[in-house]
């Protein structure tokens, strides 16, 4: 958040599994489309927040498996943990706030009385979250009885059931919605409250997000039954919440245009987008270049000297590319190297994306652009 000089234009708060990430899309095409859109048009003046039921351990595993961008803020473990930046610095004030009237040992004693509950893996047990598996047909009866038991023990807890299998017990003050309210208050105190906030989800533990005042919301088209039912009972007719007709990340982009929150056409959706330029930012140029790089190596564009000449005209003759290793190479030399790579990834599931694009004008017309570049090839 340190890169912002004022309020973010847009803050997207999205669940991960089957919301931002479509596990039924092996090529991750919708996610890659979102990535290009975000880095080209939003990264420099907006905030990306992941709000997930995953613990830090399995969140890290997902980051290794899928082409996820680096978020500005991560809300994990169903809203019981908030961290900031790439290094994931924890918000200790949030943790202290949740400790009030929370007793993990007492919760474990009471849940042990219900044989229907099966503890999830150790990685999913967090200081302020206890997670179980529970069959859908038994969920309602068990949740009612368990709630009464915990109430008799004097505990203020929240019981959340999602995906037809997972039951989480949290402090009463926790949850994705409460964590977002806390975050918005913190941003407001720092003069960084977003102009617009869009929340995105697919399952029961996302319902709280849609109750936060003044946010826009999107249920992706593939939302779980429990969230669709919540929407029908609580939000149908609310113009600020929609049920998208597109899946996962594509549904998020659909919501951006539905609520007029900004650009929603991904550079990946524009043919020959590298050469259709008009008042573009340095960050946009980087995204365009690497999309062309991907298509060039896959042999999906014409092997034309004209394209190479246009690339040379786009980049200043004295422009340099500095590799993380410290090797400093003229940009035009890098373009010459590209010529020999045409079609070397033809027929291969080869994708390129950039992350954490940032830029600053170091002198009139000269920009220093930093970014992470990733490639996947199967």
CA distance between the termini of the chain: 35
Domain limits of the chain? 10-90+175-258, 101-171, 270-377
Looking at CATH, the fold of the domain delimited by 270-377 is given as: Nuclear Transport Factor 2; Chain: A, (3.10.450)
What is the arithmetic mean of pLDDT over 207-228? 96
Q: What does the pLDDT look like over 130-150, one tens digit per residue? A: 999 999 999 999 999 999 999
What is the overall mean pLDDT for the chain? 92
Is the pLDDT score of 273 beyond 60?
no
Residue 44 pLDDT: 93
Q: Contact, 128 vs 99, CB < 8 A?
A: yes
pTM of full prediction above 0.85? yes
CA distances from 13 to 50, 66, 142, 215, 236 (A): 6, 18, 31, 10, 21
Question: CATH number of the domain at 101-171, please?
Answer: 3.90.1070.10
Q: What does the pLDDT look like over 24-60, one tens digit per residue? A: 999 999 999 999 999 999 999 999 999 999 999 999 9
Q: Contact, 5 vs 77, CB < 8 A?
A: no
Cα dihedral 122, 57, 88, 362, rounded to 10, equals 180
Q: Which two tokens stand for residue 266?
A: 């991904």
Is the pLDDT score of 272 beyond 70?
no
170 φ/ψ sector (left φ>0, alpha ψ -120 to 50, else beta)? beta
Decide whether 10-90+175-258 matches 101-171 in CATH topology: no
Residue 199 pLDDT: 98
CA nearest to 35, candidates 311, 328, 361, 355: 355
Q: What does the pLDDT look like over 274-325, one tens digit per residue? A: 555 555 688 898 999 999 999 999 999 999 888 888 888 877 788 888 877 8
Is the pLDDT score of 343 beyond 90?
yes
Q: Contact, 360 vs 368, CB < 8 A?
A: yes
Residues 6+ apart with CB under 8 A from 27: 349, 351
CA distances from 296 to 22, 62, 270, 321 (A): 26, 29, 15, 19
Residue 324 pLDDT: 77
Residue 274 pLDDT: 54
HEC string of 297-326? HCCCCCCCHHHHHHHHHHCCCCCEEECCCC
Question: CATH number of the domain at 10-90+175-258, please?
Answer: 3.40.50.1000
């Amino acid at each position: 958040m340190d890169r912002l000089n004022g309020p973010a234009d847009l803050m997207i708060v999205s669940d991960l599994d089957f919301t931002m990430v479509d596990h039924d899309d092996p090529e991750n095409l919708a996610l890659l489309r979102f990535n290009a859109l975000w880095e080209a048009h939003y990264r420099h003046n907006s905030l990306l927040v992941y709000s997930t039921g995953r613990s830090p351990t399995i969140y890290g595993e997902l980051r290794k498996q899928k082409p996820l961008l680096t978020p500005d803020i991560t809300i994990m473990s169903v809203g019981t943990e908030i961290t900031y930046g790439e290094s994931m610095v924890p918000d200790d004030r949030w943790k202290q706030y949740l400790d009030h009237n929370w007793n993990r040992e007492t919760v474990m004693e009471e849940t042990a009385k219900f044989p229907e509950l099966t503890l999830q893996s150790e990685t999913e047990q967090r200081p302020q979250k206890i997670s179980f598996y529970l069959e859908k047909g038994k969920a309602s009866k068990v949740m009612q009885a368990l709630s009464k038991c915990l109430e008799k023990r004097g505990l203020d807890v929240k019981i959340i059931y999602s995906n037809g299998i997972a039951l989480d017990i949290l402090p009463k003050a926790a949850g994705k919605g409460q964590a977002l309210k806390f975050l918005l208050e913190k941003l407001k105190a720092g003069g960084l409250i977003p102009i617009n906030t869009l929340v995105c989800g697919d399952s029961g533990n996302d319902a709280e997000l849609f109750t936060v005042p003044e946010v826009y919301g999107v249920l992706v088209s593939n939302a779980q039954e429990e969230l669709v039912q919540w929407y029908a009972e609580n939000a149908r007719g609310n113009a600020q919440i929609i049920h998208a007709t597109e899946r996962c990340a594509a549904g998020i982009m659909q919501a951006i245009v539905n609520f007029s929150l900004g650009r929603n056409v991904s550079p990946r959706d524009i043919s020959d987008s590298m050469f259709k330029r008009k008042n573009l930012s340095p960050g946009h140029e980087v995204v365009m270049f690497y999309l062309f790089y991907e298509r060039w190596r896959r042999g999906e564009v014409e092997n034309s000297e004209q394209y190479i000449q246009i690339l040379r005209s786009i980049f200043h003759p004295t422009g340099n590319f500095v590799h993380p290793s410290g090797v400093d190479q003229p940009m035009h030399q890098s373009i010459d190297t590209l010529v020999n790579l045409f079609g070397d990834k033809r027929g291969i599931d080869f994708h390129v994306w950039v992350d954490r694009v940032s830029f600053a004008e170091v002198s009139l017309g000269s920009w220093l652009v930093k970014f992470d570049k990733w490639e996947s090839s199967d």
